[in-house]
Protein backbone atom coordinates (compact mmCIF):
# COMPACT_ATOMS: atom_id res chain seq x y z
CA UNK A 1 0.00 0.00 0.00
CA UNK A 2 2.95 2.37 0.63
CA UNK A 3 3.69 2.08 -3.10
CA UNK A 4 0.20 1.75 -4.60
CA UNK A 5 -1.38 4.65 -2.68
CA UNK A 6 1.40 7.14 -3.63
CA UNK A 7 1.18 5.97 -7.26
CA UNK A 8 -2.54 6.66 -7.31
CA UNK A 9 -2.10 10.04 -5.62
CA UNK A 10 0.62 11.04 -8.07
CA UNK A 11 -1.61 9.92 -10.94
CA UNK A 12 -4.54 11.93 -9.61
CA UNK A 13 -2.39 15.05 -9.36
CA UNK A 14 -1.42 14.75 -13.03
CA UNK A 15 -4.95 13.75 -14.08
CA UNK A 16 -6.41 16.78 -12.27
CA UNK A 17 -4.00 18.90 -14.29
CA UNK A 18 -5.28 17.34 -17.52
CA UNK A 19 -8.89 17.92 -16.43
CA UNK A 20 -8.15 21.65 -16.48
CA UNK A 21 -7.11 21.46 -20.14
CA UNK A 22 -10.11 19.20 -20.89
CA UNK A 23 -12.82 21.40 -19.35
CA UNK A 24 -11.53 24.60 -20.95
CA UNK A 25 -11.11 22.89 -24.35
CA UNK A 26 -14.69 21.61 -24.21
CA UNK A 27 -15.98 25.02 -23.16
CA UNK A 28 -14.10 26.61 -26.07
CA UNK A 29 -15.71 24.22 -28.56
CA UNK A 30 -12.47 22.38 -29.35
CA UNK A 31 -12.94 18.77 -30.40
CA UNK A 32 -11.35 16.44 -27.82
CA UNK A 33 -10.49 13.00 -29.19
CA UNK A 34 -9.59 11.42 -25.84
CA UNK A 35 -9.27 12.04 -22.10
CA UNK A 36 -7.05 9.35 -20.56
CA UNK A 37 -6.26 8.46 -16.96
CA UNK A 38 -2.89 6.73 -16.74
CA UNK A 39 -0.35 5.94 -19.40
CA UNK A 40 0.46 3.02 -21.67
CA UNK A 41 -1.97 0.63 -23.39
CA UNK A 42 -5.69 1.01 -22.82
CA UNK A 43 -7.41 -1.15 -20.22
CA UNK A 44 -10.90 0.28 -20.59
CA UNK A 45 -12.30 2.78 -23.09
CA UNK A 46 -15.77 4.28 -23.29
CA UNK A 47 -17.01 6.55 -26.07
CA UNK A 48 -19.24 9.35 -24.81
CA UNK A 49 -20.33 11.74 -27.52
CA UNK A 50 -17.30 12.79 -29.53
CA UNK A 51 -14.76 11.95 -26.81
CA UNK A 52 -13.24 8.63 -25.73
CA UNK A 53 -12.64 8.27 -21.98
CA UNK A 54 -9.98 5.69 -21.24
CA UNK A 55 -8.20 4.00 -18.34
CA UNK A 56 -4.60 3.04 -19.08
CA UNK A 57 -2.30 0.35 -17.66
CA UNK A 58 0.08 2.54 -15.64
CA UNK A 59 -1.84 4.27 -12.78
CA UNK A 60 -0.09 7.62 -13.05
CA UNK A 61 -0.24 10.48 -15.47
CA UNK A 62 -2.83 11.11 -18.13
CA UNK A 63 -3.41 13.25 -21.18
CA UNK A 64 -5.92 15.18 -23.27
CA UNK A 65 -5.75 14.71 -27.04
CA UNK A 66 -7.34 17.69 -28.74
CA UNK A 67 -7.97 18.06 -32.46
CA UNK A 68 -5.08 19.87 -34.07
CA UNK A 69 -4.60 21.26 -37.54
CA UNK A 70 -1.01 20.01 -37.44
CA UNK A 71 -2.03 16.40 -36.94
CA UNK A 72 -4.21 14.19 -39.06
CA UNK A 73 -7.09 12.41 -37.41
CA UNK A 74 -6.75 8.78 -36.46
CA UNK A 75 -7.76 6.28 -39.16
CA UNK A 76 -10.81 5.17 -37.19
CA UNK A 77 -11.97 8.71 -36.43
CA UNK A 78 -13.99 11.00 -38.72
CA UNK A 79 -12.11 14.04 -40.06
CA UNK A 80 -12.42 17.17 -37.92
CA UNK A 81 -13.10 20.54 -39.48
CA UNK A 82 -10.52 23.28 -38.89
CA UNK A 83 -13.13 25.24 -36.91
CA UNK A 84 -13.04 22.60 -34.16
CA UNK A 85 -9.23 22.48 -33.81
CA UNK A 86 -7.10 24.04 -31.10
CA UNK A 87 -5.41 26.36 -33.62
CA UNK A 88 -8.74 27.82 -34.77
CA UNK A 89 -9.45 29.41 -31.38
CA UNK A 90 -8.41 33.01 -30.55
CA UNK A 91 -5.06 33.38 -28.80
CA UNK A 92 -6.65 34.36 -25.48
CA UNK A 93 -8.76 31.18 -25.56
CA UNK A 94 -5.74 29.00 -26.30
CA UNK A 95 -3.82 30.69 -23.46
CA UNK A 96 -6.73 29.89 -21.12
CA UNK A 97 -6.80 26.24 -22.25
CA UNK A 98 -3.05 25.83 -21.67
CA UNK A 99 -2.99 27.73 -18.37
CA UNK A 100 -5.98 25.78 -17.03
CA UNK A 101 -3.77 22.78 -16.18
CA UNK A 102 -1.50 24.63 -13.73
CA UNK A 103 -4.49 26.57 -12.38
CA UNK A 104 -6.26 23.29 -11.59
CA UNK A 105 -3.17 22.08 -9.69
CA UNK A 106 -3.24 25.30 -7.67
CA UNK A 107 -6.94 24.77 -6.93
CA UNK A 108 -6.26 21.14 -5.98
CA UNK A 109 -3.55 22.24 -3.54
CA UNK A 110 -6.02 24.62 -1.87
CA UNK A 111 -8.72 21.91 -1.69
CA UNK A 112 -6.34 19.32 -0.22
CA UNK A 113 -5.18 21.75 2.46
CA UNK A 114 -8.80 22.68 3.19
CA UNK A 115 -9.52 18.99 3.81
CA UNK A 116 -6.55 18.83 6.18
CA UNK A 117 -7.40 21.95 8.18
CA UNK A 118 -11.21 21.82 7.99
CA UNK A 119 -12.21 18.14 7.80
CA UNK A 120 -9.45 15.72 8.86
CA UNK A 121 -7.82 17.93 11.45
CA UNK A 122 -4.17 18.65 12.15
CA UNK A 123 -1.94 18.19 15.17
CA UNK A 124 -1.00 21.44 16.86
CA UNK A 125 1.30 22.09 19.81
CA UNK A 126 -0.84 22.36 22.95
CA UNK A 127 0.63 25.54 24.42
CA UNK A 128 -2.19 25.84 26.97
CA UNK A 129 -0.96 22.73 28.78
CA UNK A 130 2.29 21.66 30.49
CA UNK A 131 1.76 17.95 29.77
CA UNK A 132 4.91 16.48 28.19
CA UNK A 133 4.28 15.06 24.75
CA UNK A 134 7.88 13.96 24.19
CA UNK A 135 10.98 13.54 26.37
CA UNK A 136 14.13 13.37 24.26
CA UNK A 137 16.31 10.36 24.96
CA UNK A 138 19.57 11.38 26.64
CA UNK A 139 18.32 14.88 27.52
CA UNK A 140 18.32 16.34 31.05
CA UNK A 141 14.62 15.56 31.65
CA UNK A 142 15.02 11.98 30.45
CA UNK A 143 18.06 11.43 32.67
CA UNK A 144 16.11 12.79 35.64
CA UNK A 145 13.27 10.32 35.08
CA UNK A 146 10.58 12.52 33.51
CA UNK A 147 8.37 10.72 30.99
CA UNK A 148 5.76 11.60 28.30
CA UNK A 149 2.39 12.24 29.95
CA UNK A 150 3.85 13.90 33.04
CA UNK A 151 2.32 17.30 33.77
CA UNK A 152 4.77 19.96 34.93
CA UNK A 153 3.25 21.80 37.90
CA UNK A 154 6.11 24.08 39.01
CA UNK A 155 9.69 25.18 38.34
CA UNK A 156 11.69 25.98 41.51
CA UNK A 157 8.43 26.32 43.40
CA UNK A 158 6.86 28.73 40.89
CA UNK A 159 3.53 27.31 39.66
CA UNK A 160 3.16 26.97 35.87
CA UNK A 161 -0.09 26.35 34.00
CA UNK A 162 0.91 26.87 30.37
CA UNK A 163 3.89 25.91 28.20
CA UNK A 164 5.20 29.43 27.57
CA UNK A 165 5.54 30.33 31.25
CA UNK A 166 7.31 27.03 31.93
CA UNK A 167 9.74 27.58 29.03
CA UNK A 168 10.63 31.09 30.22
CA UNK A 169 11.57 29.79 33.67
CA UNK A 170 13.65 26.96 32.22
CA UNK A 171 15.44 29.24 29.73
CA UNK A 172 16.57 31.50 32.57
CA UNK A 173 18.02 28.65 34.61
CA UNK A 174 21.02 27.73 32.46
CA UNK A 175 23.88 26.08 34.32
CA UNK A 176 22.07 25.10 37.51
CA UNK A 177 19.69 22.52 38.84
CA UNK A 178 16.01 23.33 39.02
CA UNK A 179 13.36 21.67 41.12
CA UNK A 180 10.70 20.39 38.73
CA UNK A 181 7.35 19.65 40.32
CA UNK A 182 5.25 17.30 38.23
CA UNK A 183 2.08 15.19 38.38
CA UNK A 184 2.09 11.51 37.44
CA UNK A 185 -0.81 9.10 37.99
CA UNK A 186 -2.46 11.58 40.35
CA UNK A 187 0.64 12.02 42.53
CA UNK A 188 2.60 15.27 42.90
CA UNK A 189 6.34 14.61 42.74
CA UNK A 190 9.51 16.70 42.62
CA UNK A 191 12.78 15.94 40.84
CA UNK A 192 15.94 18.01 40.44
CA UNK A 193 17.08 18.49 36.86
CA UNK A 194 20.38 20.02 35.69
CA UNK A 195 19.55 22.21 32.70
CA UNK A 196 21.74 22.02 29.60
CA UNK A 197 22.53 24.66 26.93
CA UNK A 198 19.89 24.75 24.23
CA UNK A 199 21.14 23.13 20.97
CA UNK A 200 20.03 26.17 18.94
CA UNK A 201 20.92 28.87 21.47
CA UNK A 202 23.59 27.91 24.05
CA UNK A 203 22.78 31.02 26.11
CA UNK A 204 19.46 29.63 27.39
CA UNK A 205 18.50 26.59 29.47
CA UNK A 206 17.09 23.39 28.04
CA UNK A 207 15.31 20.31 29.45
CA UNK A 208 14.84 18.26 26.29
CA UNK A 209 11.05 18.08 26.32
CA UNK A 210 8.32 18.88 23.80
CA UNK A 211 4.65 19.79 24.11
CA UNK A 212 1.75 17.46 23.79
CA UNK A 213 -0.35 17.90 20.66
CA UNK A 214 -4.04 18.49 20.16
CA UNK A 215 -6.06 17.67 17.06
CA UNK A 216 -7.50 20.93 15.73
CA UNK A 217 -10.23 21.68 13.19
CA UNK A 218 -10.94 25.06 11.61
CA UNK A 219 -14.40 26.15 10.43
CA UNK A 220 -14.53 25.45 6.69
CA UNK A 221 -14.58 29.12 5.55
CA UNK A 222 -11.56 29.84 7.75
CA UNK A 223 -9.85 26.64 6.56
CA UNK A 224 -10.41 27.62 2.91
CA UNK A 225 -8.98 31.12 3.43
CA UNK A 226 -6.01 29.79 5.40
CA UNK A 227 -5.35 27.09 2.78
CA UNK A 228 -5.36 29.67 -0.01
CA UNK A 229 -2.83 31.75 1.88
CA UNK A 230 -0.70 28.69 2.64
CA UNK A 231 -0.67 27.71 -1.05
CA UNK A 232 0.37 31.23 -2.06
CA UNK A 233 3.14 31.05 0.56
CA UNK A 234 4.36 27.74 -0.93
CA UNK A 235 4.46 29.27 -4.42
CA UNK A 236 6.29 32.35 -3.12
CA UNK A 237 8.91 30.16 -1.47
CA UNK A 238 9.24 28.10 -4.67
CA UNK A 239 9.79 31.21 -6.79
CA UNK A 240 12.31 32.50 -4.27
CA UNK A 241 14.20 29.21 -4.39
CA UNK A 242 14.30 29.23 -8.21
CA UNK A 243 15.55 32.83 -8.26
CA UNK A 244 18.17 31.90 -5.67
CA UNK A 245 19.38 28.98 -7.80
CA UNK A 246 19.79 31.21 -10.88
CA UNK A 247 21.66 33.77 -8.78
CA UNK A 248 24.01 31.11 -7.42
CA UNK A 249 22.65 31.16 -3.87
CA UNK A 250 21.67 27.50 -3.82
CA UNK A 251 21.62 24.21 -5.67
CA UNK A 252 18.49 22.40 -6.88
CA UNK A 253 17.40 19.36 -4.88
CA UNK A 254 15.03 17.58 -7.25
CA UNK A 255 13.37 14.19 -6.81
CA UNK A 256 12.01 12.00 -9.57
CA UNK A 257 8.85 9.86 -9.44
CA UNK A 258 10.56 7.22 -7.25
CA UNK A 259 11.62 9.85 -4.72
CA UNK A 260 8.15 11.42 -4.67
CA UNK A 261 6.53 8.01 -4.22
CA UNK A 262 8.91 7.29 -1.33
CA UNK A 263 8.02 10.60 0.36
CA UNK A 264 4.29 9.95 -0.04
CA UNK A 265 4.76 6.42 1.28
CA UNK A 266 6.57 7.72 4.36
CA UNK A 267 3.89 10.38 4.87
CA UNK A 268 1.17 7.69 4.76
CA UNK A 269 2.63 6.18 7.93
CA UNK A 270 1.69 9.37 9.79
CA UNK A 271 -1.93 9.44 8.63
CA UNK A 272 -4.14 10.87 5.94
CA UNK A 273 -3.49 14.49 6.95
CA UNK A 274 0.24 14.10 6.28
CA UNK A 275 -0.42 12.49 2.89
CA UNK A 276 -2.83 15.23 1.80
CA UNK A 277 -0.51 17.99 3.04
CA UNK A 278 2.44 16.57 1.08
CA UNK A 279 0.20 16.01 -1.97
CA UNK A 280 -0.82 19.69 -1.78
CA UNK A 281 2.84 20.73 -1.78
CA UNK A 282 3.54 18.50 -4.79
CA UNK A 283 0.47 19.80 -6.63
CA UNK A 284 1.49 23.44 -6.08
CA UNK A 285 5.05 22.68 -7.21
CA UNK A 286 3.72 20.81 -10.23
CA UNK A 287 1.71 23.90 -11.21
CA UNK A 288 4.79 26.13 -11.08
CA UNK A 289 7.10 23.67 -12.85
CA UNK A 290 4.65 23.41 -15.73
CA UNK A 291 4.72 27.19 -16.15
CA UNK A 292 8.48 27.24 -16.68
CA UNK A 293 9.45 28.10 -20.29
CA UNK A 294 10.81 24.60 -20.93
CA UNK A 295 9.96 22.90 -24.25
CA UNK A 296 7.16 20.31 -23.95
CA UNK A 297 5.78 22.00 -20.78
CA UNK A 298 2.80 24.36 -20.64
CA UNK A 299 5.11 27.33 -20.09
CA UNK A 300 6.80 26.89 -23.46
CA UNK A 301 3.44 26.60 -25.22
CA UNK A 302 2.43 29.91 -23.64
CA UNK A 303 5.69 31.41 -24.93
CA UNK A 304 4.86 30.28 -28.47
CA UNK A 305 1.41 31.84 -28.16
CA UNK A 306 3.05 35.06 -26.97
CA UNK A 307 5.33 35.02 -30.02
CA UNK A 308 2.30 34.49 -32.24
CA UNK A 309 0.55 37.47 -30.65
CA UNK A 310 3.59 39.68 -31.28
CA UNK A 311 4.24 38.49 -34.84
CA UNK A 312 0.63 38.36 -35.90
CA UNK A 313 1.11 34.80 -37.19
CA UNK A 314 1.93 31.47 -35.54
CA UNK A 315 5.31 29.78 -35.55
CA UNK A 316 5.43 27.09 -38.23
CA UNK A 317 3.84 23.95 -36.70
CA UNK A 318 6.77 21.76 -37.75
CA UNK A 319 9.24 24.11 -36.02
CA UNK A 320 7.20 24.26 -32.82
CA UNK A 321 6.73 20.50 -32.92
CA UNK A 322 10.47 20.02 -33.35
CA UNK A 323 11.21 22.20 -30.30
CA UNK A 324 8.67 20.33 -28.15
CA UNK A 325 10.04 16.97 -29.33
CA UNK A 326 13.58 17.95 -28.35
CA UNK A 327 12.31 19.25 -25.01
CA UNK A 328 10.36 16.04 -24.43
CA UNK A 329 13.50 14.01 -25.10
CA UNK A 330 15.50 16.11 -22.65
CA UNK A 331 12.77 15.80 -19.99
CA UNK A 332 12.67 12.03 -20.42
CA UNK A 333 16.46 11.91 -20.08
CA UNK A 334 16.26 13.99 -16.92
CA UNK A 335 13.49 11.73 -15.62
CA UNK A 336 15.65 8.64 -16.17
CA UNK A 337 18.62 10.28 -14.40
CA UNK A 338 16.46 11.37 -11.45
CA UNK A 339 14.95 7.89 -11.21
CA UNK A 340 18.43 6.35 -11.22
CA UNK A 341 19.55 8.74 -8.46
CA UNK A 342 16.43 7.99 -6.38
CA UNK A 343 17.02 4.25 -6.73
CA UNK A 344 20.65 4.67 -5.71
CA UNK A 345 19.53 6.56 -2.63
CA UNK A 346 17.05 3.83 -1.73
CA UNK A 347 19.75 1.20 -2.24
CA UNK A 348 22.23 3.04 -0.07
CA UNK A 349 24.43 4.00 -2.98
CA UNK A 350 24.13 7.74 -2.41
CA UNK A 351 24.89 10.19 0.41
pLDDT digits over 66-97, tens only?
988 766 444 455 667 888 899 889 999 999 99
Q: What is the mean pLDDT of residues 302-321?
A: 87
User: Given a cut of 50, is residue 235 above it in pLDDT?
Assistant: yes
Cβ neighbours around 8 below 10 Å, total: 14
Spatial neighbors of 277 by CB under 8 A, at least 6 apart, are: 112, 113, 116, 122, 267
Band of the pLDDT at 210, cuts 50, 70, 90?
Answer: very high
Rounded CA-CA distance 99/20 in Å is 8
pLDDT for 237 equals 81
Question: Percentage of the chain with pLDDT > 70?
Answer: 82
Q: What average pLDDT does the chain have?
A: 84
Q: What residues are paired with 214 via a beta bridge?
A: 124
Among the residue ranges 17-31, 46-60, 65-79, 235-249, the one predicted with the least confidence is: 65-79
User: Given a cut of 70, is residue 345 above it in pLDDT?
Assistant: no
Spatial neighbors of 145 by CB under 8 A, at least 6 apart, are: 191
Q: What is the mean pLDDT of residues 264-290?
A: 81
pLDDT for 350 equals 42
Q: What is the mean pLDDT of residues 328-334?
A: 71
User: Given a cut of 70, is residue 124 above it in pLDDT?
Assistant: yes
Top-confidence residue, 223 or 336: 223
Instruction: List domains and CATH numbers for the chain.
Output: 4-121+218-346 (no CATH), 125-215 (2.30.42.10)
Query: What are the angstrom distances between the C-alpha of 85 and each of 29, 50, 97?
Result: 9, 13, 12
> Tell me: the pLDDT tens digits for 136-145?
998 999 999 9
Rounded CA-CA distance 300/306 in Å is 10
Top-confidence residue, 25 or 250: 25
| Exposure class string for 303-312: b at 16+ Cβ within 10 A, else e | bbbeebeeee
Rounded CA-CA distance 314/153 in Å is 74
Q: What is the mean pLDDT of residues 284-313?
A: 88
pLDDT for 74 equals 47
Top-confidence residue, 321 or 205: 205
Q: SS3 for 184?
A: strand
Rounded CA-CA distance 300/132 in Å is 53
pLDDT for 105 equals 94
Among the residue ranges 10-14, 102-106, 154-158, 159-163, the one predicted with the least confidence is: 10-14
- Cβ burial of 190 (10 Å; 0-12, 13-18, 19+) is exposed
- Nearest C-alpha neighbor of 152 from the set 137, 168, 138, 175: 168
**DSSP code, position 254:** -
Q: What is the mean pLDDT of residues 15-37?
A: 92
> Tell me: the pLDDT tens digits for 292-304?
888 878 889 999 9
Which residues in the chain belong to E strands, given as ranges?
A: 32-48, 51-66, 122-125, 132-135, 151-155, 158-159, 177-184, 187-194, 196-197, 205-206, 209-211, 213-216
| Exposure class string for 146-157: b at 16+ Cβ within 10 A, else e | beeebbbbbbee
Residues in the chain: 351
> Tell me: the pLDDT tens digits for 157-187?
999 999 999 999 999 998 889 999 999 999 9
Rounded CA-CA distance 234/211 in Å is 26
User: Given a cut of 50, is residue 325 above it in pLDDT?
Assistant: yes
pTM, entire model: 0.72
Rounded CA-CA distance 131/155 in Å is 14
pLDDT for 349 equals 44
Q: What is the mean pLDDT of residues 335-347?
A: 61
Per-state percent for the chain, helix, strand, coil, to nearest 5? 50, 20, 30
Rounded CA-CA distance 156/191 in Å is 10
Amino acid sequence: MTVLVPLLILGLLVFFHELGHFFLAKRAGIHVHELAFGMGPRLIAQQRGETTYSLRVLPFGGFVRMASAAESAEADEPPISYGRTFESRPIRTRVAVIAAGPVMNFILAVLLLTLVFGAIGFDQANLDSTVLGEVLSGGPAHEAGLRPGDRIASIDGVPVTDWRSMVLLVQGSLGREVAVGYERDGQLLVVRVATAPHPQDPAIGYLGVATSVVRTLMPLPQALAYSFGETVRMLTMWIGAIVGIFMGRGTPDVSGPVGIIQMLGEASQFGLASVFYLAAIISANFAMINLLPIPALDGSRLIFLGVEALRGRPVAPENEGRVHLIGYGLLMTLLVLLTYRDLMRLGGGGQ
